[in-house]
Amino acid sequence: MKISHIIFLLLISFGPKLTLVARTTRVVAPQPTIHQILVELNLEITKVQRYYNSCYERVIEEIDLLDNRIKTTTNTAVKLELLLLKLESKQLKLGLKRNEYTEVSKIRYIKGLQIMKILYEKTLALDHHFASLNTFNEINNISNPNHYPEFEKFKTQLQRQRDKKAGFRLSTILGENIYTSIIHSFVSMFGNNQINAAEKEKQLSRIDCILDFTLRMHGDLNTIYFETQYLQKSNEGIMQELQQLFVDYTKPIQYHTPLKTCRDTDDWDRVRENLSNYLQELNRISLIEDQKYKAHKMQINLEFPIDRLLQFITQYNAFIDQGAKFYEKFGIMLSSYENEKQCGGEIPVAYQQLKANVAVAIEKFNTAYKPVEINGSKMKEVLYGLTEYD
């Protein structure tokens, strides 16, 4: 059988499958999850590999037939023709391998792009989450007794009853400090002989829960604030890393629009067009003998950003794991106030809202922001294009 007959047979038998594979790589709304993308990645790579394995079997069968004929024929001219056909068959096999590599690379690249798009949405959601949390002023308001009307009323009353001989005033700065303000108030009250014991006890009963809550929770609330700020800064760093990764990812295919602009203008189709043009050029020059090195370099330039994406995913996963642990710690801190039942009426509503926000955040870190499950076999699929079919 001549080589042209082989090519014709392969195209007739398997050509429609190639068209189907090319179509399945297209991103279709609605937005899939990362898990769905990884499932699609496995299915699409498997389909390509099965198709090309069938092609290889046909070519190998033809080469075996040619070998048998070469061994049995004694006609020199026929033997030469058979050797040329065998050489053409081997060239066809190499071409099939090159096409398979291109198809798999295209699938991996597009799936990597989809994963990057989802991760960007996750980091944006995290940024909005941190921005919506309580500000320092709100934290300060519930952790400092000086911002409670009842305590301010208590201090005002002490000031009116101040012993002018023994009493003293605090500066504005020290008056706002939780510790100096409380100490000064107690010194002013217990050192004032003009206030009897019954009145002192009555005054203390009005602010005992406020003082107990703020003194116990002041450190924890400030820890929550500053560590949340740390997480927000870390998320900003993650977002910058992802934006730079997108630059590196799309640089080989000559797409130079930033990730934010691409996302805001929904320019993903142009990325795909640039990728198709890049692969066409790669296939073209790979057929030219003196362009082999350039083709190899183009392949590496396409593969390296995918490896970088996997490194970024590891970094993202570590950050999400860290964030989840931080918020679990916040939840323990906020639930540690021992006298919450006795002092429930005196504790500010903002404290309960903060507890609710932290509980929601823990849930989101375990669902919406959760680490990308891309290790083991999934890692091999993205990194090397290997599937369970191999």
Per-residue model confidence (pLDDT) at position 21: 37
Q: What is the pLDDT of residues 290-310, one digit of tens each?
A: 888 888 888 888 888 888 888
Rounded Cα gap, residues 279 and 265, in angstroms: 25
- Which residue has 């996997």 as its token pair? 310
Residue 234: band (very low, low, confident or very high) from pLDDT cuts 50, 70, 90 = very high
Q: Per-residue pLDDT averaged across 41-58, rounded?
A: 91
Who contacts 283 (Cβ-Cβ below 8 Å, separation ≥6)? 98, 99, 102
Mean of per-residue pLDDT scores for the chain = 80
Is residue 41 classed exposed, middle or buried when 0-12, 13-18 and 19+ CB atoms within 10 A define those classes?
Answer: buried
Whether pLDDT at 65 is above 90: yes
Q: Encoding tokens for residue 185? A: 């108030």
* Residue 357: predicted pLDDT: 86
Position 261 pLDDT exceeds 80: yes
- Average of pLDDT values for 118-137? 80
Angle between helices 349-366 and 292-334 (to 10 degrees): 150
Buried b (16+ CB within 10 A) or exposed e, 86-115: bebbeebbebbebbbbbbbbbbbbbbbbbb
pLDDT higher than 60, residue 145: yes
pLDDT tens, position by position, 198-232: 766 777 777 888 888 888 888 899 898 889 889 98
Q: What is the structure's pLDDT at 26?
A: 46
Supply 271's token pair. 């990325």
Question: Quick one: tokens of 287?
Answer: 């057929």
Per-residue pLDDT tens digits for 328-350:
999 999 998 888 888 878 888 88
Q: Over 70: is that where the pLDDT of 63 sits?
A: yes
Q: Give the mean model confidence (pLDDT) for residues 237-260.
A: 94
Q: What is the mean pLDDT of residues 166-190?
A: 62
Contacts of 163 (CB under 8 A, 6+ apart): 191, 192, 193, 194
Which of 164-168, 316-320, 361-365 is predicted least confidently? Answer: 164-168
- Least confident residue range of 173-177, 215-219, 274-278: 173-177
* Residue 387 binned pLDDT confidence (cut-offs 50, 70, 90): low
Burial (CB count within 10 angstroms: exposed 0-12, middle 13-18, buried 19+), residue 344: exposed
* SS3 call for 313: helix
The CA distance from 36 to 373, in Å, is 11
Over residues 94-106, mean pLDDT: 87
- The DSSP result for 66-100, as a single string, is HHHHHHH---HHHHHHHHHHHHHHHHHHHHHHHHH
pLDDT at 102 over 70: yes
Mean pLDDT of 154-160: 75
Q: Which amino acid is at 332?
A: I
At residue 278's C-alpha, the angle toward residues 277 and 282, to 5°, is 115
Cα 293 from Cα 133, distance rounded (Å): 54
Range with lowest mean pLDDT among 35-44, 116-125, 153-162: 153-162
Q: Which residues are within 8 A (CB) of 255 and not within 5 positions of it... i.e. 6 or more apart?
A: 270, 271, 274
Q: Which ranges of the chain does DSSP label H, i.e. alpha helix?
A: 3-24, 34-72, 76-132, 136-143, 149-160, 172-176, 178-190, 197-250, 259-264, 268-286, 292-334, 349-366, 377-384
pLDDT in the model for residue 191: 57
pLDDT tens digits along 361-375? 888 888 888 877 665
